Structure 1
Amino acid sequence: MLFNVEFDRKGIIEGYLIPDGFSDQSSILVTRDDGTVVSFPCDQPRPAVVQSGRHATGIVGFRIDESRMPDLASQRRLAIQDARTGLLIYRRPPVDEPVELKLLRLELNIVPMAKFDAYCGGNFQYAISAVERFGHETTMQAFHLHAHKSIYISGRLLLRNYEEFLDNGFQAIADVPDPYYEMACRLFILKRLAKGPVTFLGDRDRLILTPASEHFAEVNLDDDKAVNRALKKASDKARSVLISPITRQLVCTYPEQRVTRRDIAAAIGTLSRFKVVGHEGDHAHFQQAIGELLSLPPMNIPVIPRYSLLEELAMRLRQMPVAESMLEEDLILDHYVRQAMVPSAQRTGKPQR
């Protein structure tokens, strides 16, 4: 999906929305300051879209003016979304002083930090969360919104495919999860997925996770022997979603790509480029650093709560050699992340000054 707003002159907004389907008709939803929503078809021709082979008719543009919305100029918080997916296309600044920064939050947890994104993203003019659900083309479009100086993107992306944007105006942040706790989360989600859809997973995720979901569907996660046996007997496709997923996100370009110890250095190098790196074991550090970066009160920044049920499963996974072997690269990476977060005086044994 391709989209953009070409200009916003208070009483006139013009842009385009090219749908995924070659002959689909696109439409937009405009949310006014009072929360009411108005629907408009994309009815403006864009001949170049036909010439490039992107759409059958090229009727993908939209124009909103005061003949359609008489009080358009006074709508300070107006927002425009794709009617089919809910994807944000454009919005006027949602706050008086939006953060003037282009920021990527790389999601390294299978359970997204939705409250974090809602709070932090609400301080940017443009924001899109769980961007991986919309596919590679839509994600690239979000990165290419050059007219915006205030952009917040978050998602469980394979970063190597988007790393160029770290050299092109974007800064990156990430909160690195504990590998065993993340494995526990994934096993729990796999069992849920076997019973029905999980709302925060996109179509591609469901396709990738299905073999593992089917394998673990009947496994009792409270039974250590059953979990251990299931991990050992998992097929390559089922194992792949559990093998060092954090390292893979940092160095791989496609989901089925495997990692080895040689990739750890590259993963560490990638993380060294991030503006803020947190660790699940120290939420206060992450909140403080994000607060300073975005000029927001640190204590108001939400973090993912840890669940005792999953913590218990993670503790039991630590006792299983098969789990350790599957997480080998992530465990080494986790060690270096923890070491980097320890003050230098504590690492050397010298007193802090």
Structure 2
Amino acid sequence: MIPDGFSDEASVIVTRDDGTAMSFPCDQLRLGVMQAGRHATGMVGFRVDEERMPDLASQRRLVIQDAKTGLLIYRRPPVDEPVPHKLLRLELNIVPMLKFDAYCGRHFQYAISAVERFGHETTMQAFHLNAERSVYISGRLLLRNYEDFLDKGFQAIADIPNPYYEMACRLFILKRLAKGPVTFLGDRDRLILAPAAEHFAEVNLEDEKAIRRALKKSPDKVRSVLISPITRQLVCTYPEQRVTRRDVAAAISTLSRFVVVGHGNDHAHFQQAVGELLSLPPMNIPIIPPHSVLEELAERLRAMPIAEQMLEEDLIFDHYVRQAVAPRAGRQGKAQQ
């Protein structure tokens, strides 16, 4: 377990079935890690055996996590019959669906949510759990960097937010970030969002003129946080990469590989489709309902040409997604009649 700090001394937490936990230091030398310049001492290996934990073999739900970050390293099946899928839920909203992940994740052998907080290398390690057939990964990833795994046993699902509502969420989070840390954002996100948080710190989000003025005066580092983030996640390989209209077709092509796609406020469809995929009760799957304050902000943004300009690619993408969703909605309506 290689810690983020070059000279940090790592440790793991082992949790028993009854909830009690034991801490073990990473005191096993891994010479190759030190020789590769990954850690100062190479003391990154750990060993948990019956000498250290006499009741090890009897623990049916044993869990091992990084003591500092809570990152799941290993666990015995959390349920008797884990879901036999490798699933990626691509997070397209800046506000993560944590309750959704917690509910779905506990039905898999291995699960990690908001994986972007741990960086690219840890994310790749999760995707490379080749010996495990029950894996749940969720996060706000740049999919192009991981798309190859859709050819290696992973299935992908996503709930696509309305572009104006997503912009409203981002402005709201930027205001919060200007006042203090936002717990679900990782270090890299905070670094990328810092200029935008500073720019919108004093902007009154209930004042349409103030929002319009702030959007128009946004420097590049601020605009990059708000410009068509959904399309960018589907086609870009690095955060600063820009998108054009030509990228919309590539985003649609990528989305066509997903096994479940939700859209807007059609929560019942997304719940039902995910439930069928995972063989779980659909109505038990938690969905975050839209917040009235953010919906009002989204409506104000909808009336601003500058917001439309910044969301151009996402709005085109959203149009085609709605066109694809509409026939299904029509069929459902006729069936109900």
State TM-score, norm by structure 2.
Answer: 0.96
Runs ≥4 residues deviating over 4 A: 344-347
Equivalent residue number for residue 317 of structure 1: 301
Equivalent residue number for residue 18 of structure 1: 2
Aligned-pair distance for 1:248?
Answer: 0.3
Q: Which has a greater percent of helix?
A: 2
Question: Is residue 27–residue 83 contact of structure 1 (8 Å, CA) maintained in 2?
Answer: yes
Q: Distance in 2 between matches of 1:322 and 1:44?
A: 56
Q: Does 1:86 align with 2:70?
A: yes
Equivalent residue number for residue 50 of structure 1: 34
Q: Does 1:212 align with 2:212?
A: no
Report the 3-state secondary structure (helix = DSSP H, G, I; strand = E; otherwise coil) of the residue aligned with 2:241. coil
Equivalent residue number for residue 198 of structure 1: 182
Report the 3-state secondary structure (helix = DSSP H, G, I; strand = E; otherwise coil) of the residue aligned with 1:104. strand
Q: Distance in 2 between matches of 1:346 and 1:39?
A: 56
Q: Does 1:188 align with 2:188?
A: no
Equivalent residue number for residue 154 of structure 1: 138
Aligned-pair distance for 1:290?
Answer: 0.1
Question: Is residue 345–residue 351 contact of structure 1 (8 Å, CA) maintained in 2?
Answer: no
Q: Distance in 1 between matches of 2:216 and 2:285?
A: 39
Equivalent residue number for residue 88 of structure 2: 104
Cα RMSD for the two superposed structures: 1.7
Question: Is residue 180–residue 317 contact of structure 1 (8 Å, CA) maintained in 2?
Answer: yes
Gaps of 5+ in 1: 1-16
Q: Distance in 1 between matches of 2:44 and 2:251?
A: 41
Q: For residues 337 and 67 of structure 1, do their structure 2 counterparts lie closer, same or farther at Cα, with a shift above 3 Å needed?
A: same
Question: Is residue 105–residue 111 contact of structure 2 (8 Å, CA) maintained in 1?
Answer: yes
Equivalent residue number for residue 13 of structure 1: none
Letter in structure 2 aligned against 1:322: I
Matching of residues 56-75 of structure 1 within 5 Å: 56-75=40-59
Letter in structure 2 aligned against 1:302: P
Show CA shifts across 1:95-149 (max 9, x none). Answer: 0100011110000000000000000001001100000011111111111111211
Q: Does 1:256 align with 2:235?
A: no
Show CA shifts across 1:12-36 (max 9, x none). Answer: xxxxx12233333221000111111
Equivalent residue number for residue 114 of structure 1: 98
Letter in structure 2 aligned against 1:275: V
Show CA shifts across 1:227-273 (max 9, x none). Answer: 11111111111111110000000000111111000000000000000
Letter in structure 2 aligned against 1:256: E
Equivalent residue number for residue 38 of structure 1: 22
Q: Distance in 1 between matches of 2:49 and 2:169?
A: 48
Report the 3-state secondary structure (helix = DSSP H, G, I; strand = E; otherwise coil) of the residue aligned with 2:46. strand
Equivalent residue number for residue 8 of structure 1: none
Q: Distance in 2 between matches of 1:66 and 1:155?
A: 36
Show CA shifts across 1:274-300 (max 9, x none). Answer: 111111221111000000000000000
Letter in structure 1 aligned against 2:299: M
Q: Distance in 1 between matches of 2:227 and 2:37?
A: 40
Report the 3-state secondary structure (helix = DSSP H, G, I; strand = E; otherwise coil) of the residue aligned with 1:247. helix
Aligned residue pairs total: 334
The worse-fitting range, judged by mean Cα deviation, of 199-208 and 20-29 is 20-29
State TM-score, norm by structure 1.
Answer: 0.91
Gaps of 5+ in 2: none
Q: Which has a greater percent of strand?
A: 1
Q: Distance in 1 between matches of 2:183 and 2:294?
A: 20
